[in-house]
Structure 1
Amino acid sequence: MAFSFLDQRHTVAPPGYNRWLIPPAALAVHLCIGQAYATSVYKSALVEHFDVSLTAIGIIFSIAIVMLGVASAVMGTWVDRVGPRRAMFTAACFWAAGFLVGALGIATGQLWLVYLGYGFIGGIGLGIGYISPVSTLIKWFPDRPGMATGMAIMGFGGGALIASPLSRELLDLYDSSEGVPSGAAVAKLFVTLGIVYFLVMMFGVFNVRVPAPGWRPAGFDPAAERSKTMVTSNSVSAGSAIRTPQFWLLWTVLFCNVTAGIGILEHAGPMISDFFRTGTTTTVSATAAAGFVGLLSLFNMAGRFAWSSTSDYIGRKPTYVGYLGIGMVAYVLLAVLGDSATALFVVLAALIISFYGGGFSTVPAYLRDLFGTYQVGAIHGRLLTAWSAAGVAGPLIINRFLDARGEPGRLVAADYRPALFTMVGVLAIGFVANLLIRPVAERHHLPAPEPRTPD
């Protein structure tokens, strides 16, 4: 068959295969779908092109994140069954198609087609692409699961680091006039990104492998991992996991962490300009604002690797204490002192976003610790519905407050404070939920396999 190379049996690694070849394949997918974080670059252009509010354009991003969670939850077991290669190929098709349908909607002035394309179809690609390499990396790196998931998921956080300046350059190429880019330029941008991202994602498709049954890295002692308090030596199925309090507590933790971070990311470019605005004049240029989006992407990416790797040493639960507790302090300082100096604003926002990114990359290892490696990909997919909910809540909180306070281009730091203090309360809820997490009760564990007797 033409697509037989996608079958799981063709992806099993031969003896002696170097596991360090797997992270680049995962990064090829995550760097592409991480473009979702660069939507603020052309957000103003879409507002002007369709003559609608920030909230109406923000819905595009919210639909995409909702579909990410829905697709990852519904397709998680399928991804575990068919393997990463077929899943990554499917994600590439949906992601590219989403851009092309979205481009058609922009070119024809039909906003609902952008919702359907980038939001619904592209969101399915986001969900499948996000989870497809994660369980594979955990299997290749059982000795460093936090680092492994950080390597892949940092690509998602770093996607805007590439997409933001690339999109800005392409928009300038397609529309050389001063001011907000035209809708036609954004449509051309979508077509270009759809084609380029599909080709890059295919690199990951052709290079991903899964370890042979029973494989383990040299020098790895499973008993040492199982001796840790929060790390189980048992397995829990995806169906049983969602019936445990640990799953829903961790769902709450992820929801709160994402809601707080996504509000800044989704409005990053305009936010720094507004914080340093006096009347109708801001001291932050459009170029500097775009650079700030890229800088946040860098910290988003770095936090995903650095903090999740740190969790391998200090544990997942203490790591989330830091994400949520220090995050509350940073949000208060941002609301109260953020407009006093540009450097302080950037440092606080970067710290918050590094915790936001770290929360994503640490959660698969947290799931592995609580529920074991069996169906961890499917459990992860179900947990990502928290991201879907946060994808609606985060932008909605920010956009509703801002729409009530004034028009884009006339907002100032004080207009953001009610939303920022709301985020402090959200993080506090997540902080308490994390403290309540305990090891999973034995009644949820799968029966241990019967020991084999000699023939």
Structure 2
Amino acid sequence: MDLIKNHYGAVKFERSEHWLRAEEYLFYFPPLRFNRFLLFPAALLIQLSVGSLYAWSGYNLPIEAYIYGRNGGVDRNIASNIFYVAVGVFGLTAALLGPWLERRGPMLGCLVGALFFYAGNLLAGLGVYTQHIELVIFGYGIIGGIGLGIAYIAPVSPLQKWFPEARGIAAGVAVCGFGGGSIIAPYSQKFLIGVNYHKTGEVGIVGVPLTFVILGSIYFVAMMLSALVLRMPPPGYSVKGITIDTIKGAEAFQGRQSGDSASSDDIKKTSITTGSGLGQQTLYERDSSADLGGVRKDPAPVEEAADTSKGQVDSNVFAMTLAESLSSSEYWLMWFMFLGAQITGLLIISKIQSIIQNQFKRDADAAALINSLLGGANLLGRLVLPLLSDVLPHVSGGVAGRKSIFLFSLVTQAVCLSFLPLTIDDQRFGGFLACAFIIAFCYGGGFGVIPAFLADQFGAKNVGATHGIILMAWASGAVVGGLVFTEVLKKQQVKFAPNIVPIYDLNFRWILGLVLMGFVLCIFIHTNLRDRRMPHVEGEVLRIRFINGRMIRFYRTGKMHMLSKHEEDSEWSDYLRTLGH
């Protein structure tokens, strides 16, 4: 228990004075200076590599044909389980190593992830070559899954810290490549394996085993080079008054009195310091608007701490520790909401090529094309929805843009899930594709928005760990949901044989229930700082924001009370005064 508390306790990344100075440069020595925007292409390359996971469905039939023999291209539902194992280990690794990443830094995390993912691909190729499916499961599913988990979160954490003023788009760019991986990888796989290998046995360039070796080597080189660019911002870094500790809404209190209106300097200065107490020295001061491109030799005076005796409230008063974040009800509401928001896209992507070939009788080329286009929708969602979550103003009721995006996504997916069985049963290929692309768009958007949502709620300093653990929701959907999906599918195949068209209907229905659960839970996630921090009054069990922006309290007695604006402002002011004592 103490080990768990220490692991998920205080998270601090420490660097020496020498290392901080070296990080001023792109490759840690002159002449090329580091610029925070260089993190974007590095993150893209890393995510394109690990995003090849989403093209796993292109391996299902070729692997089964190589190991068990050809059967006309019928899916045996064996190789697809490797995808679920990889996703499960991915999520578990991200959850366990999130705090480690924050303590050791993203560069080391990415290097370790690259090594594991490369080893996983090599073992998978060996397992196929020797016709041992167990080795493929161990190699790609477990060893590769470990690499995927740590490499995925490695670029997300630093981007949330370097771009606190644009958390949504920073998160979107950080993970968009993961969707892009399924655009490129299907064609690479088919080119190397052979388009119709699983039916005719005709080999492409190298066949199934060596495809893992070649693509794994390419991914490894791209990830190793990109890892050199990743780094955390220097101590004290802030933009527009937002630091790595700042939660959404608290930036308005930067250097303000408790009763002051919300305003702050657009750009704050950043001091790099070493030591503590009397031994602390200011090494140099940067202007964060200059993207750490230059160093000012004349240090500016250190800003004085807030005078709480006069009622002054600093934004860091609202900062949350990792333990506080993980133990909050809001975090676990987000965890289960994320499960409901992502499980549909996850399970459809894992089976898309099989559905296209078996349910709609399209050939392997068409299936690969659809898989690739689905990856494009996934990528687009990861860019568009996080950007919208940044620019959307708080709508009536204090519902933040990121929460609005998830509400929209869940409703949209519920509608599509209602229509999907009809499109397959009636053989409406266009309707099926429309629903699948919309689901993939929302699925990608969820991954793009969630890091920024977590940084808003719990601070960017905790995002490596909070993001890692919330990925367990996605992993749980893959492992538990995937196993349930496969078992239900097998029983439906027997029930409807030889007609296999309606075999997915029952699966789509239980997934719809999880999506609706996610929608209900999302409603109760508090994004307004007042809702989160204003103390509960005696007997209060629940509070929500009505559409008119007013807070409604619910009591144990069954009564409810809608606060007037004056009542709420008065209570909030009283609470802020307590922070100044």
| 2:247 and 2:319 in contact (8 A); partners too | no
Alignment partner, residue 416 of structure 1: 504
In structure 2, what is the equivalent of residue 241 of structure 1?
325
In structure 1, distance between residues paired with 2:114 and 2:22? 18
Partners of 2:359 and 2:198 in 1: CA distance: 28
**Is 2:142 the counterpart of 1:120?**
yes
What do the CA deviations read for 1:56-109 (whole angstroms, capped 9, x no partner)?
322211111111111111111111111111111111000000001111111112
1:342 to 413, 429, 442: 429
> Which residue of 1 is the match for residue 281 of structure 2?
none
The structure-2 alpha-carbon separation of the partners of 1:92 and 1:150, relative to structure 1 and needing over 3 Å to count, comes to same
- Please state how far the C-alpha of 1:11 moved relative to its aligned partner: 6.7
Q: Which residue of 2 aligns with 1:38?
A: 55
CA distance in 2 between counterparts of 1:8 and 1:409 reads: 65
DSSP 3-state at the match of 2:212: helix
**RMSD of aligned residue pairs (Cα, Å):** 3.1
Counterpart check, 1:327 vs 2:413 = yes
Task: Name the aligned partner's letter for residue 487 of structure 2.
Answer: R
Q: Give the secondary-structure state (helix, strand or coil) at the position aligned to 1:298.
A: helix
Choose from 316, 339, 342 the match for 1:255. Answer: 339
Judged with a 3 Å threshold, the aligned counterparts in structure 2 of structure 1 residues 11 and 299 are, in CA distance, closer, same or farther, namely farther
Could you tell which deviates more after superposition, 57-66 or 151-160? Answer: 57-66
Q: How many residues align?
A: 429
Larger radius of gyration: 2
Where structure 2 has 5 or more consecutive residues not aligned to the other structure, the ranges are: 1-14, 27-32, 70-74, 253-314, 393-400, 536-581
Higher normalized contact order (CA 8 Å, seq sep 6+, divided by chain length): 1
User: 1:12 corresponds to which letter in structure 2?
Assistant: E
Offset at residue 410 of structure 1 (A):
6.3
Q: Is the 8 A contact 1:236 1:374 kept in 2?
A: no
**Residue 164 of structure 1: CA displacement?**
0.8
Match status 1:25 vs 2:42: yes
In 1, the alpha carbon distance for the partners of 2:145 and 2:451 equals 20
* Aligned match for 2:363, one of 277, 282, 285: 285
C-alpha contact 2:55 2:182 (8 A) present in aligned 1: yes
Matched, 1:404 2:491: yes
CA contact (8 A) 2:61 2:198 kept: no
* CA gap 1:313/1:163 in 2 versus in 1, 3 angstroms: same
Q: Contact 1:30/1:155 (CA < 8 Å) preserved in 2?
A: yes
State whether residues 60 and 115 of structure 1, in contact with CA within 8 Å, keep that contact through their aligned partners in structure 2.
Answer: yes
Task: Answer yes or no: is 1:141 the counterpart of 2:170.
Answer: no
Please tell me the residue identity of whatever aligns with 1:45.
P
2-structure distance, mates of 1:13, 1:442: 41
Find the partner of 1:164 among 155, 175, 186: 186
Q: What SS class does the counterpart of residue 375 from structure 1 fall into?
A: helix
Q: Measure how far apart 1:13 and its partner are.
A: 3.5
2:223 pairs with 197, 201, 223, which one?
201
- Within a 5 Å distance, the mapping from 1:97-116 to structure 2 comes to 97-116=119-138
Q: Would you say the 8 A contact 1:66–1:385 is kept in 2?
A: yes
C-alpha distance in structure 2 between counterparts of 1:253 and 1:204, whole Å? 32
Q: Is the 8 A contact 1:102 1:118 kept in 2?
A: yes
- Give the letter aligned to residue 119 of structure 1: G
Counterpart for residue 451 of structure 1: none
Distance 2:328 2:367 in 1: 44
Could you tell me whether the CA contact under 8 Å between 2:341 and 2:406 is conserved in 1? no
Residue pair 1:12, 1:211 contacting (<8 A) in 2 also = no
* Cα contact 1:174–1:188 (8 A) shared by 2: no
CA–CA distance in structure 1, aligned partners of residues 102 and 117 of structure 2: 20
- Where do residues 55-74 of structure 1 align in structure 2 (5 Å cutoff)? 55-74=77-96
Measured in 1, the distance between the counterparts of 2:251 and 2:427 equals: 45
Q: Secondary structure at the match of 2:150?
A: helix
Aligned counterpart, 1:300: 378
* 1:299 counterpart letter in structure 2: A
* Greater per-residue helix proportion: 1
Q: Distance between the aligned counterparts of 1:173 and 1:341, measured in 2?
A: 25
Identity %: 32
Q: For 1:389, which of 458, 466, 476 is the aligned residue?
A: 476
TM, length-normalised to structure 1: 0.86
Distance 1:319 1:45, change over 3 A: same
Query: C-alpha displacement at 1:402, in angstroms?
Result: 2.2
Decide which structure has greater strand share. Answer: 2
In structure 1, distance between residues paired with 2:134 and 2:147: 18
Match of 2:249 among 226, 236, 239: 226
Trace 1:255-274 onto structure 2 (pairs within 5 A): 255-274=339-358
